Amino acid sequence: MTAQGKIDTAFDPMAARVDFPILSKQIYGKPLVYLDNGASAQKPRQVLDAMRDFASSEYANVHRGVHYLSAAATDRYEAARRTVQKFLNAGSEDEIVFTKGGTEAINLVAYSYLMPRIQPGDEIVLTVMEHHSNIVPWHFLRERNGAVLKWVDVRDDGSLDIEALDAAIGPKTKLVAVAHISNVLGTLTPLKEIAARAHAKGVPVLADGCQGAVHEIVDVRDLDVDFYALTGHKLYGPTGIGVLYAKKAHLKAMRPFNGGGEMIREVTRDAVTYADPPARFEAGTPPIIESVGLAAALDYMNSFDRVAVKAHEHDLLTYAREGVRQFNWLRVIGDAPGKASILSFEADGMHAHDLATILDREGVAVRAGHHCAQPLMERFGVASTTRASFALYNTRQEVDVMLAALAKARKILG
Amino acid sequence: MDDSLRELYQEVILDHSKHPRHFGKLEHPTHTGQGYNPLCGDRVTVNLLVDKDGRIADVKFEGKGCAISQASASLMTDMIAGRTVAQAEKLMGGFINLVKGETVKGLDEDDRERLDVMAGVSAFPMRVKCATLAWHTMKSALEGGDAAASP
């Protein structure tokens, strides 16, 4: 395999690139090399077109009017729900709640599921590699309800020790909250095994799937997790929409979080009764156009052989991982076996922001900072890292541009 | 190399960031400030010893950060040591004008020249906060926001 040569997978990133208008953009006169996909992925024209076409011809509010457009929009919105259901292989479309993002999905579980079940001293088990969106909602329960956060460490290579996690689950544990894939390390956690261990002790599992849904082929029934949160914009879809998958029994037992239109059965002056899930959790006008965009994004992903896409992303990771070995001043953080295409590193004497600024001037977009994962930064003794995260449209040639830019940064800052 | 990059990471800046002046602890500060940039997680602590005439008799900073923030902190401490609080705040005003690419007011030529090494930051709006972190921390210390000990 060479930098320019064909990769031995059935997926052709060059053909996919054509679908992404922004990828032909020049940055400071240089071709854009977009490697900040872990923060947000770019959008193919299939998504942009679907949203514009829908808004131009079928748009109205959903679940309300009896008029033609309202019926058409409702059909599209509910069709999007079924697309998500199939994408996750959920048992029922009623287990799919649209939210405004992954963060809101996790907060919904915190407020509606866990808060009423927490007594002072009850425990929530989470790992040190969680994103703040899978930490702060649990801190709220610590502050308000006296919950205790139990942290599970990762190994030096970034992998999760299932035995350590298992040992952390005790009689007072009310939830295990864990990332499917770490947004910093790329570590893929053994979700199925985690769910089996937790369920053996009667404890439900929430998976933060914001990265996992992008890089893994998710089957929530096989994984048997209780909750799976994801966000649309990392899946080549629009911002402003996310999903909470939850097992039907959990949703039925959950109180609504937001109150408003759409989520009620009946409202009187003295009382209110609530709609069944998922409507119960979708108060107010939902992200309608975004739902159409998300469905188009998932259709787009499914238009490829996803196993081949995964192999391509893995190839980019391996190629980049090998490529940075030439830099003895660079330390990769996170080398867990089977990890996803996310490469974080720190460089001797070079701060991530300085590196990222120089890479930017070469057209290379990477993330620099703590990646909303400060407990993990603390675990590895760094204030920040630089992160390259690869998507289906990235190429080996782009990795080469990044490597050259890194060498240049060393020359300037070294 | 990109001219704006060369301007940003010029020798003087890299020298300040690699060999920061006034770096370390101050035994008995009268004013302490903690600065934090939530974007990158960088922290800086600025300790000042202000005498009864309102003069900054000594100043030191500690912390980790990017080349821009470290160089800026180093340059700042170098320049405010020995000056009055009012002079330091005036210098800060001029510095912030400079890194934001605004018209610089109220600086004499010498100061302007010394601060000018940081002028390249103005071409990098995302990095202005890196450059101003230590200065804001110094100001909050002087305003007693979280002074460690009162004079």
Q: pLDDT for B9-50, tens place per residue?
A: 999 999 999 999 999 999 999 999 999 988 777 889 999 999
With a CB cutoff of 8 Å and minimum separation 6, the contacts of A272 are A259, A264, A266
Per-residue pLDDT at A10: 85
Yes or no: say if A182 and A342 are a contact pair by the CB < 8 Å rule.
Answer: yes
The owner of tokens 């390249």 is B120
Residue of A nearest to B18 (CA): A349
Instruction: Grade residue B151 by pLDDT with cuts at 50, 70 and 90.
Output: very low
Per-residue pLDDT at A161: 95
- Reference A176, options A124, A115, A114; nearest CA is A124
Tell me the C-alpha distance between A366 and B82, whole Å: 42
Q: Report helix angle A306-323 to A288-302, nearest 10.
A: 80
Beta bridge partners of A273: A266
Yes or no: say if A169 and A201 are a contact pair by the CB < 8 Å rule.
Answer: yes
Yes or no: say if A354 and A413 are a contact pair by the CB < 8 Å rule.
Answer: yes
Chain B residues 76-135 within an 8 A CB cutoff of chain A: 124, 126-127, 130
Whole-Å CA distances, B63 to A145, A381, A408, B4 = 35, 14, 26, 27
Q: pLDDT for B77-116, tens place per residue?
A: 999 999 999 999 999 999 999 999 999 988 999 999 999 9
Per-residue pLDDT at A5: 46
Q: Does B58 touch chain A (CB under 8 A)?
A: no
Yes or no: say if B85 and B67 are a contact pair by the CB < 8 Å rule.
Answer: no
Residues of A in Cβ contact (< 8 Å) with B5: 357-358, 361, 412
Active site residue A210: no
Tell me the C-alpha distance between A116 and A147, whole Å: 12
Instruction: Grade residue B146 by pLDDT with cuts at 50, 70 and 90.
Output: low
The owner of tokens 């770019």 is A42
Per-residue pLDDT at A9: 52
- Reference A152, options A141, A132, A167; nearest CA is A167
Evaluate if residue B59 carries a pLDDT over 60: yes
Tell me the C-alpha distance between B119 and B72, whole Å: 11
Per-residue pLDDT at A337: 96
**Residues A413, B9: C-beta atoms closer than 8 Å:** yes
Q: Report helix angle B67-80 to B128-142, nearest 10.
A: 40
**Residues A351, B67: C-beta atoms closer than 8 Å:** yes
Per-residue pLDDT at A305: 96
With a CB cutoff of 8 Å and minimum separation 6, the contacts of B14 are A413, B67, B71
Yes or no: say if A234 and A210 are a contact pair by the CB < 8 Å rule.
Answer: yes
- Reference A360, options B135, B9, B48; nearest CA is B9
**Residues B8, A357: C-beta atoms closer than 8 Å:** yes
pTM of the model: 0.92
Task: Please give the DSSP secondary-structure letter assigned to residue A188.
Answer: B
Q: Which residues of A touch B (CB under 8 A)?
A: 28, 349-354, 357-358, 361, 368-370, 374, 377, 383-384, 408, 412-413
Yes or no: say if A44 and A15 are a contact pair by the CB < 8 Å rule.
Answer: no
Q: Is the pLDDT higher at A312 or at B151? A: A312
- Reference A130, options A164, A174, A160, A157; nearest CA is A160
| pLDDT, one tens digit for every residue, chain A (414 residues) | 444 444 445 899 999 999 999 999 999 999 999 999 999 999 999 999 999 999 999 999 998 778 999 999 999 999 999 999 999 999 999 999 999 999 999 999 999 999 999 999 999 999 999 999 999 999 999 999 999 999 999 999 999 999 999 999 999 999 999 999 999 999 999 999 999 999 999 999 999 999 999 999 999 999 999 999 999 999 999 999 999 999 999 999 999 999 998 899 999 999 999 999 999 999 999 999 999 999 999 999 999 999 999 999 999 999 999 999 999 999 999 999 999 999 999 999 899 999 999 999 999 999 999 999 999 999 999 988 999 999 999 999 999 999 999 999 999 998
**Residues A351, B66: C-beta atoms closer than 8 Å:** yes
**Burial level of A328, CB count in 10 A (0-12/13-18/19+)?**
exposed
Per-residue pLDDT at A35: 98
Q: Which two tokens stand for residue A337?
A: 């076996």
**Residues B40, A349: C-beta atoms closer than 8 Å:** no
**Burial level of A172, CB count in 10 A (0-12/13-18/19+)?**
middle
Tell me the C-alpha distance between A212 and A181, whole Å: 5
